């Protein structure tokens, strides 16, 4: 079959990569009767979404291997820690997603061709928060 007549439409390429870590936290700003004001833990999943108008190298937005510094950060700084003790804010999933976006933009993005679009943080299979990066 001849595919040479297939016209490739213009658009943006998007990729995502899922990471995970285990951590505890509490939200002391909540009333003491609220379950999340007490110490508890989550098996967090963090998904980064990147995009690019054109592909690099063999056809990548970004080589997934180039995201290793982000995984290393999660493993060394957040995994098996009490988030309320290591982060400078009350560690809701929303704030954590924004913080991770900032860390990624500052520490990973300068060395890769793709641009961060969003960070999603999952506390459970059914609960998540997403921070969408404004267009830059």
Domain CATH code at residue 96:
3.30.479.10
Question: In this predicted structure, which of 16-20, 26-30, 50-54, 63-67 has the lowest mean pLDDT?
Answer: 26-30
Catalytic residue chosen out of the listed positions 36, 47, 84, 90: 36
42 catalytic? Reply is no
Q: Please indicate, yes or no, if residue 34 is contained in any of the structural domains.
A: yes
Query: Which of 90 and 135 is assigned the larger pLDDT?
Result: 90
In the chain, the number of structural domains is: 1
Domain boundaries, position 117: 13-132
List pLDDT tens digits, range 38-88.
889 999 999 999 999 999 989 999 999 999 999 999 999 999 999 999 999
Q: List beta partners, residue 22.
A: 43
Catalytic residue chosen out of the listed positions 34, 40, 77, 80: 80
What pTM value is reported for the model?
0.94
85 catalytic? Reply is no
Q: Please indicate, yes or no, if residue 54 is contained in any of the structural domains.
A: yes
80 catalytic? Reply is yes
């Amino acid at each position: 079959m001849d595919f040479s007549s297939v016209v490739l439409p213009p658009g943006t390429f998007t990729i995502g990569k899922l990471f995970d870590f285990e951590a505890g936290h509490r939200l002391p700003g909540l009333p003491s009767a609220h379950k999340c004001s007490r110490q508890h833990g989550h098996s967090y999943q963090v998904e980064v979404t990147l995009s690019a108008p054109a592909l690099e190298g063999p056809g990548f937005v970004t080589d997934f291997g180039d995201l290793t510094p982000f995984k290393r950060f999660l493993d060394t700084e957040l995994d098996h820690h009490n988030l309320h003790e290591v982060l400078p804010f009350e560690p809701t999933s929303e704030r954590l997603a924004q913080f991770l976006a900032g860390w990624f933009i500052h520490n990973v993005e300068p060395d890769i061709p793709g641009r961060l679009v969003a960070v999603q943080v999952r506390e459970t299979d059914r609960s998540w928060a997403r921070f969408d990066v404004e267009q830059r």
